[in-house]
Chains A and B, each alone.
Chain A
Amino acid sequence: MRTKLFTLFLLVSVLISGCVTATTQAPIATAIPPTPQTIVVTSVPQTIVETVISEVLVTPTPLPNPEAVIQSVEPDAVIGFWTFWLSPTFDQYIKDTIARFNEAYPGVTVNWEDHQATFQDDLKASFAAGNAPDVINLSVSEGWVSDYASQGLLMPLDDKVPQSVKDLYFPGLWNEQLINGVNFQFPWYQGINVYLINHQVYDQTGLTIDDFPKNWTDLPALCATIKEKTGTLCDIRLTVNDLISQMVYEGNVKPISEDGTSFTFDSADAVAWLQQYVDMVKAGTVDKTVLVTDQDRVGLDLFTTGKAAFYATGPNLIREVRKNNPGLYGYLGVVPAPVGKSGVIGKGLMGISVNAQTKFPNASLALAQFFTNPKSMLEFSKIVAIYPSTPDSYADPFFSAAPVAIEDSAKPFAEDAVSKYADIVPTIPHKADVNAILLRHVQDALFNNVPAQQALTDAVTEANQLLP
């Protein structure tokens, strides 16, 4: 009897789970009814205004939508849009913006999906499957735009977008992550690189917030002091997926020769940069797991638990800290990030790119541009501490208002900082492989007592074999 019941239970659960599983989640699509159009017909001597569609609206849209700047958008286009780690917090914002997009470009259906920790895996697989999304939010700071663009998977934008549109963006941001001089992304929301300070720990060092290093090269000394006075470790991260970029910004290193025939990241500058990290590891002043993790959130985690004096991040992540450790919020301070030897304070954070194989190029361009236009980005800035890539947004009184909460503390200098963002990393061929080689040798120097110079030279030798 028990066996019979069991078999029945099995069958029922298979059926139920099969039914549940079979219903796929409906994609989020927004489509709106047609708006009545008005056509101005000029004939001598009168001007007659005719309404073409039978519906009569009390307040029609009198002019073409000022935000509709891309021409020849395909009617009845259906495009896929992937964002990175924005759901569920910003669900409403995305949906509202899509709705506004449809006012400017009616007839375009947008299927929006948000992907998180597995974004890269999912995207690579979808490219392999041939069903990658048409419009993709990519991380500029992690080098994803150059990754995909160098494989020919993204649409080059310079000749597809009118100059008037290009001028909407800060030039430094439009020209980021160029592949052979061509741009592949619409600059989206930017972060301001700041360091969050945990006063509970930091104050024990006896230093004040003004003493916090302005230059990156002074950080190791601070870490030593922190270790000595508080016993905590420094929460510093190597961007293990893009070490070259970090080398360039922090250490002012030139990674590849002018003619692109040989790698040069074993120069004196590079050695000096690596040596600083080696020294910190030897002195035991950094948390080793955070140093080489590939997930930024591991570093944030350490800070959120209140065990670190500072952490390099953006004001937009303060909400994460607050959510997970409200007690810490009151002890937070913010300082602008120390500048690396290169003198350039940073590069862009996020961009939106278009799939080179999209069936609806103009609709995709329109969506990408719409999300990154001044109005959309201003709206975004109002709900979270991110910063627009368009100068026009900063004209809004929102940015000239004095900062209230700690999340707003970057507002006064945001425009200035963002306008100075520039991508100073040259195009690196076989970037993923070069990075893997570099990561291996950097670990040898950090953890295996290989001298920094030797580690880097070995890395260069190995990487050069990849070049023709």
Chain B
Amino acid sequence: MTKKFSLTPYLFLTPALVAIAIFVVYPIFAVFYYSFTDYSIVTPPVWIGLKNYSWLIHDTIFWRSLAHSFVYLLVTPILIVLSIILAIVVNRKLPGIQAFRALFFIPVISGSIAVGIAWRLMLDTNGIINAILLSLGILKEPMQWLAEPALTLPFCMALTIWLGVGYYMMIFLAGLQNIPEELYDAAMLDGCNSWQKHWHVSIPGLRPQITFVAVISSLAALQVFNEVFTLTGSLGGILQSGYTVVFYLWQQAFRLSHAGKASAIAMALLVITLAFSITNIRLLERGTETD
């Protein structure tokens, strides 16, 4: 049977490929080019060779932002542990359990901006958090929560965790419900109690979900922006304590009009996320193999 040449596959692909070519492929080349220029967007780019990169290497603020972004990765294990525990807890047919599940999902649906604003109001020097702690006697004086450099990143991370738990809990919940009952019964027969049962059956059974969440969450953690912006505004925290790589990129490009430097940062971001992205792809591909 001769294979007829058909336009069909190409036609199917065209809309998506055109969009990707314009909005993903072109930008990578453009950013690569801009990273070798001095460009303020209002005036045309001026070629300056490797100057942006040498600036980047010597820029303590960039390295600090990078360190912060890596520290931010801590949210991933915390999120996974908390979400799994919550999923296990809500994975039972108790009256009202649906309500609890929905409740935990509300932060996800409200959006990081709305929640971030609410948190910022609560953490004000005169806000409700201080008021509660003062009236309980835990604090003698109101603490300026968002003015403590050591607390800025932890608060952003707490916000991320708070926002993500409901989302990942749902994923693990579905995973748990896919684990066959027989495995649990077998574990019970072997003499496992409640916790051992979960350790030996649930966790291994959730492996695909865990890997999926780990990769998604890590990629997101490396590229955090919203949480920093809502909690600290354009200051980025006292002593740049809230600076992440994407925040620094945004500041350089859209506050200081240094698109060239920002492009160099963007290239660095590409390298940083590379390892995680490749893992992500491998996982997606492995999913195909098991089908």
Contacts and interface: CB of A to CB of B under 8 A. Distances in A.
B248 to A, nearest CB: 11
Contacts of B240: 440, 443
B233 A294 contact: yes
Nearest to B256: A432
Contacts of A240: 235
A444 B126 CA distance: 26
B254 A121 contact: yes
Contacts of B257: 124, 432
Interface residues of B, number: 20
Interface string A284-303: 00011100111100000010
A307 B234 CA distance: 25
A3 interface: no
B256 A295 contact: no
Contacts of B42: 124, 127-128, 151, 153
A292 B141 CA distance: 21
Contact of B125 (A124, A127, A289, A436): A289
Contacts of B82: none
B239 interface: yes
Q: Which of B61, B124, B141, B238 has the most CB of A within 10 A?
A: B238
B233 A444 contact: no
Interface in A319-349: none
B239 A448 contact: yes
A289 B147 contact: yes
B143 to A, nearest CB: 10
Task: Give the interface size bracket for A toward B.
Answer: 20 to 34
A294 B234 contact: yes
User: Is the contact region of chain B dominated by helix, strand, or loop, or is it mixed?
Assistant: helix
A301 B48 CA distance: 45
A287 B240 CA distance: 18
Nearest to B233: A294
B149 A287 contact: no
Interface in A412-440: 432-433, 436, 440
B238 A292 contact: yes
B30 to A, nearest CB: 15
Contact of A447 (B234, B235, B238): B238
B235 A293 contact: yes
B196 interface: no
Q: Which of B42, B61, B233, B257 has the most CB of A within 10 A?
A: B42
A302 B61 contact: no
Contact of B235 (A231, A292, A302, A433): A292
A305 interface: yes
A109 to B, nearest CB: 27
Interface string A127-159: 110000000000000000000000101000000
A440 B61 contact: yes
B267 interface: no
Contacts of B144: 287-289
A432 B126 CA distance: 32
A288 B238 contact: yes
Interface in B109-162: 124-126, 141, 144, 146-147, 149
A364 to B, nearest CB: 20
A436 B147 contact: no
Contacts of A302: 125-126
A444 B238 CA distance: 9
Contacts of B61: 440
Contacts of A448: 149, 239
B20 interface: no
B183 interface: no
Closest 9 interchain pairs by CB?
A288-B147, A289-B147, A128-B41, A288-B144, A443-B239, A128-B42, A447-B238, A447-B239, A289-B144
18 contacts: A128-B41, A153-B42, A233-B125, A289-B144, A289-B147, A292-B147, A292-B238, A294-B234, A295-B233, A305-B126, A432-B256, A436-B256, A440-B61, A443-B238, A443-B240, A447-B238, A447-B239, A448-B239
Interface of A: 121, 124, 127-128, 151, 153, 231, 233, 240, 287-289, 292-295, 302, 305, 307, 432-433, 436, 440, 443-444, 447-448
Given A153-B42, A293-B235, 14 more contacts: A121-B254, A124-B257, A240-B235, A287-B125, A287-B144, A288-B144, A288-B238, A292-B238, A294-B235, A305-B126, A307-B125, A433-B256, A436-B256, A440-B240
